[in-house]
Amino acid sequence: METNTAIGLNPLLEPFNTLHDTAPFTKIKNEHFLPAFKAAITLAKKEIQEVIDNPEVPTFENTVEAMERSGERLSIIRGVFFNLNSAETNDELQQIAQEVAPLLSEFGNDISLNEDLFARVKLVYEQKDQLDLNTEQQTLLDNSYQSFVRNGANLNAEDKEKYRKITGELSKLGLQFQQNVLAETNAYEMHLTDEAELAGLPDFVREAAALTAKQKEKSGWIFTLQHPSFIPFMKYSDRRDLREKLFRASSCKGNQGNEYDNKEIIKKILSLKLEKANLLGFSSHAKFKLERRMAETPEKVTTFLDELHQASKPFADSDLAEVQQFANEAGFEGTIERWDWAYYSEKLKNARYGFNEEAVKPFFKLENATKGIFGLAKQLYKLEFRKSDEIEVYHPDVQAYEVYNEAGDFIAVFYMDFFPRESKRSGAWMTDYRSQYMEDGVNKRPHISIVCNFTKPTETKPSLLTFDELTTFLHEFGHALHGMLSQCQYASTSGTNVYWDFVELPSQMHENWAYEKEWLDQFAVHYETGEKLPEELIHKIVEAKNFQSGYFSERQLSFGMLDLSYHTLTEPLAESIPEFEAKAMKNMNLLKPVEGALMSTAFSHIFAGGYDAGYYSYKWAEVLDADAYSVFMKNGIFDQATADSFRKNILEKGGSEHPMLLYTRFRGQEPTVDALLERSGLKK
């Protein structure tokens, strides 16, 4: 491959001569990406052409495995670029993304629509029963064949051209949607200069807002739409007018009729996805997507969501009535609005359980929580995390670790990026720069990253996590374990490359330890006094666990139903986005709709994040995780045999087998919703 370009030596096209072949972030410049992508695509095409031109009879090894091994350099560059575009972006990177997306889409289409290549794969697939393949090889063969079919290989020439055009447009629209949400998030700030406007806000919230103002070279306090700023303000501010102002700003992202408006982008995305599904022989995008999911059909998902809705709704109505009554007894007149919910819920929670975030935050210093989570991984899976200054990072906030097993073998590289910044999209996610795979008998270990938006340190206090942030940390770390502990043959079947409605099992199951005194006792100490988290507070955390579980279940179900409603459309969307959203969420909406507020235009999960026709998977995985964790509850939360079984049957296996087979191998039976309903207090 030609590594010298007009800009000199391109580090993305050279072997990474760094510790564990990690990305040399300090050498990579924006101008390296486009030429690197073009050179790597050219190389990948050459590697694929060699498979096509192979004069030997197609075999699993010379066709399916050879395809799996192709494009390695492109995969590395793609990982570096798109991870940076999410976590440390800028205008130039976003522009490059718009140029690169159609190139990658075209390259993907060149492979999936190549008749000669498909003919070789099909020949191998038709002989699969006669081949001596292990389980993972059978999975790879099936995945490869289905990928061709589901990406247009059987289309006629005219429809293949339509398919190319559709996928190219979709690749750009998803990026544009996400960029618009980030721009809207960064564009807004609520600048307060009168201390009276801070009424009700705890010191940690005030101090963080003052630091934000100082960083922006302004006086007073600044509140933003980033979660660590937005959520505490909505919970604690006594100023109802300001809560309403901030809520309206947050809830109308992408719906302001400006250059960042996402409504027409949504309609285009939906129309193109439907057209693509129709081309491939499906009546809706959801039918197409769910064919390769545990849930299998939209009808099953609808039944699943409705079953949970019927169980949750009475409890959700009760939750709403309780908050309304509490607010009225506290002197509030009228019906609570969406900007009142978090405020009065927090006060009710504190009144009922004596639990508030301000009381527990001092015990969840980020560094201590990190030690606790690493300690959990050591107890369950015998992992050791060693901080490394040799591994390069892309931002000063990022920490890099080497991960080792009990035998001292290197297991993974692990990056952690915790704090919000304008160059990072909101939310929290796990990703990888390299998946685990085997190559010539060498186990290539993965490079895993978790990216979050936690409460930042201030000038006088370290980063102190809310309890929700602690569970988020555990959630993303669960995903990371799925990537780090993988023991598979192929990158495409390793780690988190599993059915979409299975991927949340490891993440959601590891959240359960946040409620366990035995684990909290290991690290939760007051950051100033060293005092252990009092047993009384732990009791309050556990007691408050199911507080408003009906409301939160309905809220999550409403997101899943909105997603499914969009993607089960069999005709292009005729009505407006606000009208459609209102209708789709009507049965699960508990609070009065707010004019101008729209979920859809900032719903990045389904329009830019791969959860299209898949948002239900969070609730689906809750069923799996409640059922799976019941084994730990029965045998002991640190029981070695249970942890070994979960590691061996779930975490190490990736997507090498059908997820239900993996799950039943661990659990001994298929899951039911009973464990979830009981754990959530939604079963009388």
Give the pLDDT score at 6: 45
Q: What separation in angstroms does the CA of 445 have from each of 140, 255, 462?
A: 19, 43, 33
375 near 522, Cβ under 8 Å?
Answer: yes
Give the pLDDT score at 633: 96
Strand-pairing partners, residue 451, are: 417, 429
Give the pLDDT score at 585: 95
pTM (predicted TM-score): 0.94
Locate tokens 């079953």: which residue?
Answer: 307
296 Rama sector, left if φ>0, alpha if ψ -120 to 50, beta otherwise: left
Give the pLDDT score at 675: 86
Q: Which residues are within 8 A (CB) of 640 and not within 5 positions of it... i.e. 6 or more apart?
A: none
Distance of CA 544 to the CA centre of its chain: 26
Distance CA 125, CA 671 (A): 32
557 near 312, Cβ under 8 Å?
Answer: yes
Q: Of 585, 595, 592, 594, which Cα lies nearest the Cα of 556?
A: 585
Q: Of 472, 374, 385, which Cα lies nearest the Cα of 429?
A: 472
Tokens for 563, please give them. 């997603």
Give the pLDDT score at 55: 97
Give me the domains of the chain, ranges plus CATH numbers: 4-154 (1.10.1370.40), 188-251 (no CATH)
Q: Which helix (H) or strand (E) element contains residue 345?
A: helix 338-353
Single-letter code of the amino acid located at 679:
R
Give the pLDDT score at 630: 94
**Cβ neighbours around 544 below 10 Å, total:** 18
| Mean pLDDT, each 10-residue run in order, the chain (684 residues) | 59 96 97 97 98 98 98 97 97 97 96 97 97 98 98 97 97 96 96 98 95 96 96 97 98 97 98 98 98 96 95 96 97 96 96 88 97 98 98 98 98 98 95 97 98 94 96 98 98 97 96 97 97 94 93 96 98 97 93 95 96 96 94 97 98 97 96 88 80
Phi, psi torsion values for 609, nearest 5 degrees? -120, 10
Q: Which residues are within 8 A (CB) of 383 and not within 5 positions of it... i.e. 6 or more apart?
A: 374, 377, 403, 404, 405, 411, 484
For the annotated catalytic residues, the residue numbers are 476
Q: What separation in angstroms does the CA of 281 have from each of 274, 295, 299, 394, 671?
A: 11, 19, 18, 44, 32
Distance CA 145, CA 64 (A): 9
Distance CA 220, CA 381 (A): 48
Which letter, b or e, does each residue of 388-425 get, where b requires 16 or more Cβ atoms within 10 Å of its Cβ?
A: beebbbbeebbbbbbbbeeeeeebbbbbbbbbbeebbb
Distance CA 255, CA 494 (A): 39
